[in-house]
Structure 1
């Protein structure tokens, strides 16, 4: 009998371990102990103009005190569509194997104004994809409003996994004349890959001429409130609605005017759940006063009376202004990768030893040395830990993040990191004492160690160095 019980116990243990393993595979792994909870990642833009309307990242360990990543510099730049992006959503697949950033294709002050973007703006969204949250694909345009009759634009995209249909509900605002009224309404479509979508349908429409542009949905755990999903919308107020089905009927729960926050004051609702507790922050952008984001805390997202404004000294938003974005609760592995990828490495320049008025710069993805570089950030790089290994460096462009100095056929170009081993090797160098002056630096190729970065006729090349002139050409000062 004892042996039988032992065999049964072993069998039960094996079954438990099997299901535990399956559960771990089905959802991103979280830190085991409450004290070891990882932090939060915010993706956002920072303002108007070609540089500020790109993708930026910030990190928080507690959800209310934020630090800029990447030295406050952009982490992704859109080269497609209007070449500007706003209002990003950061979507993680249910199994944690893929991520997408989906953003508005809009660049105010760099070729577009508000009237043009409202009435004849881009019908596309901009999408990036990643398998690790740190190496991102080239972006593509996803036409979501082109199938909406007389749809004028596509703004403020969001997405949420819908277990009822086993795909994502992608929703956004489009300005369209419909039923005699031209205004922004929320439309939705279903997608599994953010490359193709179903025919867009009207999702949210307010009565009369009232517009709605910003809305974001959060899933609420069982036992909190009366609804599985709560959405917050900017529609003249910050309106709260509840539902038990993403595509089902939604019930108006009230708004935040009772705590002094109206749609005339704040916009861009952005949810965040605190790790390890049933407590939420609804971040709101104080656009009317140009004040950036502020958190409003609650223990029940479905109850307008449960929200509490926070004193200004109880939270910090970092050095850059945070504009409409998305907050992701990180796993421990994700946090480790993100912080390693975007440390606050300073922007630096490479000054030529024998033409000291010239600096390495990129121009239309070609790489050369020039004087009087304009714009200055064409000649600015972040010296990252080498893509191919520690003890080496790789040069990432400041104004084209994700693009690195890379040799190909011994010529240099600024190229997008495709994540391959070959790219990593071609973009990695050993920083050694300057061949012409040991107080400067030279850069030896990782995969062609008999060759160094040098300039010839002002163009960057990868060459063996055998002459005094070549040693000067291959020597640089790393300077701010």
Structure 2
């Protein structure tokens, strides 16, 4: 090969390399929203209940976080069999090993909760009743349990709201019929042995319906101020650097004034934190989103949910999984 030919081939290779580099850089600088909008691998799944929770678990799917469609013609996926045989406030997470874990309120005055596990959201393990308040025989209830996997401790944390009569006499006077709640918790690595139930969050007032989501190195708790006299019935944010606390002073309520909200369900989706909540007086649902848990955008007017949806949880799942349900 002549030196001239060699130089021409080398120059051509250099030009091709420059063109390829430009194409790669162009792809890397494409607007993120465009990249996310073309990501069709995942969808959102909402777990909820109907009525009083007698018929069990209902699931709905959404492509955009705003328009939700019931699965199985809104028939139940799982019938409750433990406790008082209700399945209220179902919360599903996916933990290590691609396993799904669900907890729920099994009855209005049960001193425990329901729990079950699944690999595909269709076939569930035998339901178990966890007597989480067994060490507190005076406990009136165990409401709205949630489950959270903490990668730092490699433990599952299960937490819920319970009332211990006479425990907090001042705030008890401001509670509906004396149901004055605080958040309690237990943790486990294997769902066989559990740590002793402990007080998890005590803000100094009646609080229920707490849910956790991680933002960077902080844990964000969203909860309901359940004070009745005078009525609060709103959702607020508090933060901590550890699940052991201490929890910071709560921020001002972020749900709209005049709306009695409960049952927050939070998910990180396409660059935003979405928080859904049950507007239970109006028998409707609301949703707000934020990037920092300080500035909020109310998307409720754009939200459509299956009729009768009551609060539970939301998670990101593979599209293929929903197609098999």
Q: Give the TM bin, normalised by the shorter chain.
A: 0.7 to 0.9
Equivalent position of 2:43 in the other structure = 39
Change (3 A) 1:174 1:132: same
Q: CA deviation at 1:299?
A: 1.6
CA distance in 2, matches of 1:338, 1:250: 37
User: Across the two proteins, how many residue pairs are aligned to each other?
Assistant: 275
Query: 2:52–2:86: 8 Å Cα contact kept in structure 1?
Result: no
Q: CA deviation at 1:100?
A: 1.1
Query: 1:90–1:328: 8 Å Cα contact kept in structure 2?
Result: yes
- The gaps in structure 2 that reach 5 residues or longer are 1-34, 173-179, 226-231
- The gaps in structure 1 that reach 5 residues or longer are 1-30, 107-116, 222-226, 342-480
CA distance in 2, matches of 1:282, 1:311: 11
Q: Which has the higher contact order (CA 8 A, sep 6+)?
A: 2
1:340 aligns with 2:320: no
Equivalent position of 2:145 in the other structure = 157
Query: 1:142–1:194: 8 Å Cα contact kept in structure 2?
Result: no
Change (3 A) 1:307 1:180: closer
Equivalent position of 1:166 in the other structure = 154
Query: 2:52–2:88: 8 Å Cα contact kept in structure 1?
Result: no
Equivalent position of 1:430 in the other structure = none
Equivalent position of 1:453 in the other structure = none
Bigger CA radius of gyration: 1
Change (3 A) 1:164 1:273: closer
Change (3 A) 1:256 1:33: closer
TM-score scaled to structure 2, two decimals? 0.78
CA distance in 1, matches of 2:304, 2:207: 29
Change (3 A) 1:101 1:287: same
Q: CA deviation at 1:149?
A: 4.5
Query: 1:142–1:196: 8 Å Cα contact kept in structure 2?
Result: no
* Partner SS, residue 186 of structure 1: strand
Q: How does 1:172-191 map to 2 (within 5 A)?
A: 172-177=160-165, 179-181=167-169, 183-191=180-188
CA-atom RMSD, angstroms?
Answer: 2.2
* Partner SS, residue 239 of structure 1: strand
1:132-180 deviation per Cα after TM superposition (whole angstroms, max 9, x unaligned): 3332112111110111241121110011112332211110011112545
Q: How does 1:239-388 map to 2 (within 5 A)?
A: 239-256=236-253, 260-261=256-257, 265-275=260-270, 277=271, 279-291=272-284, 293-301=285-293, 303=294, 306-312=295-301, 314-318=302-306, 320-331=307-318, 335-341=319-325
CA distance in 2, matches of 1:215, 1:154: 13
Q: How does 1:137-152 map to 2 (within 5 A)?
A: 137-152=125-140
Pick aligned residue for 1:85 from 81, 84, 87: 87
Query: 1:43–1:88: 8 Å Cα contact kept in structure 2?
Result: yes
Query: 1:214–1:267: 8 Å Cα contact kept in structure 2?
Result: yes
TM-score scaled to structure 1, two decimals? 0.54
